[in-house]
Amino acid sequence: MKRKIIPMVLAFSLFGLSGFPVHADELSDALGQQQTIQQQQSQAKGRLNQLKFTTDRLKAEVAQLNAQVAAAETNLKAKQQAYSQAQMQVQAAEKELVQKGAELDKRRETLAKRLKGIYENGQVSYLELLFQSSDLTDFMTRLEYLGKLVVNDQNILAGIQEQKAQIATKKNELVAKRDQAAKLQVQAASAKTDLDRKRVQYQKALADNKAAEQDALDDIEKLEAASNALIDKIKKLSSKHGVIGSIKEWPLPGNYEISSPFGWRTHPITHKKSLHTGVDIPAPSDTPIHAAGDGVVIYTGYFGAYGNVVIIDHGGGYSTLYAHQSKVGVSENEQVKAGEIIGYVGSTGWSTGPHLHFEVRVNGNPTDPLAFFN
């Protein structure tokens, strides 16, 4: 079961010590410093994870705002087009109204002239009609035609007046429609402006958060450098204890699946290639953990990302580490035999489920544990 363990933290298995330190107090202080750094790394990782969560949220919100701004721009264009069309319709109605007004004035002028001529000529008009007529029937026909002509002019005049009234009503309706379109256009522009301003704010927050992420990554790398600097110091404080054992017993008899092997893999935090310094062996919680060989317990206790740990010095520069235990079953300075129970499988530290993280170190250098069991 793969654990989310920062590879830099795995440097702690520098406990490939060949024996007990000559200067126990100095070694204890160095280990204490290493554990403090580990706690700081854990805090930095937690801060980075929170920042990454915030970054993902801000990215999603910026993407949503981008979509909203795009929709607002489309809506604004539609409102602008609707307003332009409404304005053109109003202008066309105004033009038509002016044309009908001119036509009405012309018709009125024509009718006025006709009526004026009839009024001024009086009987002369009738005499002219009489003399111009071939007979009485023709005279009556001409007189009737003259009357119909006047009535027709009046009807045309009334029709034009009605058309003008209809156009005026239509114009008023179009003006109201145009004013409403103008109002919607202003609202759409305001909505887009608000979204643009909000998007800028979120983009700035996203940039600030990304900068904070980089700061957290820098902190983690600095802590890694400080942790690595202690490795040499701790190695110098170690000495041979005289125990000579061999690594020969599989630490979890009956459980042989490897969920994460020894070797290089992508760093889960910095995304750089880093060495996974052991193997992960999944097993049920509280499964007994056995010593891989004879030796002396040189460390027990909670060790940051490793959780509860036991480290055994087998002599000759060989040491083994057993991490994430639910409960430790031995004490420091205790001599153990190969196959002896030293603790129980758990999920303490940075772990996503019960398993044993098992390391073998030779003179402090990580070695593939499986090489000892072929």
Question: pLDDT tens digits, residue range 225-256?
Answer: 766 665 455 444 444 444 456 798 999 999 99
Q: Which residues pair with 53 in a beta bridge?
A: none
Per DSSP, the three-state class of 232 is helix
Average pLDDT over residues 321-330: 95
| pLDDT bucket at 144, cuts 50 / 70 / 90 | low
This prediction's pTM: 0.46
CA distances, 203 to each of 47, 62, 195 (Å): 21, 7, 12
pLDDT tens track for 54-67: 888 888 888 888 88
- 106, pLDDT greater than 70: yes
Lowest mean pLDDT among 219-228, 271-280, 283-292, 360-369: 219-228
Whether 15 and 311 have beta carbons less than 8 Å apart is answered as yes
pLDDT of residue 6: 34
Return the structure tokens found at 53: 């969560």
Whether 133 and 179 have beta carbons less than 8 Å apart is answered as no
Name the more confident of 368 and 306: 368
Compute the CA torsion angle 182, 183, 188, 191 (nearest 10 deg).
150
- 365, pLDDT greater than 70: yes
Amino acid at 147: G
Which of 343, 320, 347 is closest to 331 using CA atoms?
A: 343
| pLDDT bucket at 150, cuts 50 / 70 / 90 | low
Query: Whole-angstrom Cα distance, residue 342 to residue 340?
Result: 6
- 331, pLDDT greater than 90: yes
Q: Strand 335-336 and strand 295-302: pairing?
A: antiparallel
Query: What does the angle CA 231 – CA 236 – CA 239 come to, to the nearest 5 degrees?
Result: 120
Query: Whole-angstrom Cα distance, residue 313 to residue 294?
Result: 8
Query: Mean pLDDT for the chain?
Result: 75
Query: Whole-angstrom Cα distance, residue 154 to residue 135?
Result: 29
| pLDDT bucket at 81, cuts 50 / 70 / 90 | confident
Residues 6+ apart with CB under 8 A from 172: none
Residues 6+ apart with CB under 8 A from 259: 1, 2, 280, 281, 282, 355
CA distances, 247 to each of 76, 294, 309, 330, 371 (Å): 75, 8, 18, 18, 10
pLDDT tens track for 156-185: 667 767 777 787 787 788 788 888 878 888
- 104, pLDDT greater than 50: yes
Average pLDDT over residues 38-54: 78
pLDDT tens track for 259-282: 989 988 765 555 666 677 889 999
List domains and CATH numbers for the chain: 21-239 (1.10.287), 240-374 (2.70.70.10)
Query: Whole-angstrom Cα distance, residue 278 to residue 367?
Result: 8
Q: Where are the alpha helices (DSSP H) in the chain?
A: 24-121, 123-132, 136-236
CA distances, 130 to each of 122, 138, 141, 148, 242 (Å): 13, 8, 11, 18, 156
- Specify the DSSP class assigned to residue 354: S
Lowest mean pLDDT among 62-66, 151-155, 278-282, 337-341: 151-155
Please report, in angstroms and rounded to a whole number, the separation of the first and last CA atoms in the chain.
Answer: 22
CB-based burial, 4-43: b 16+ in 10 Å, e otherwise: ebbbbbbbbbbbbbbbbbeeeeebeebbebbeebbebbbe
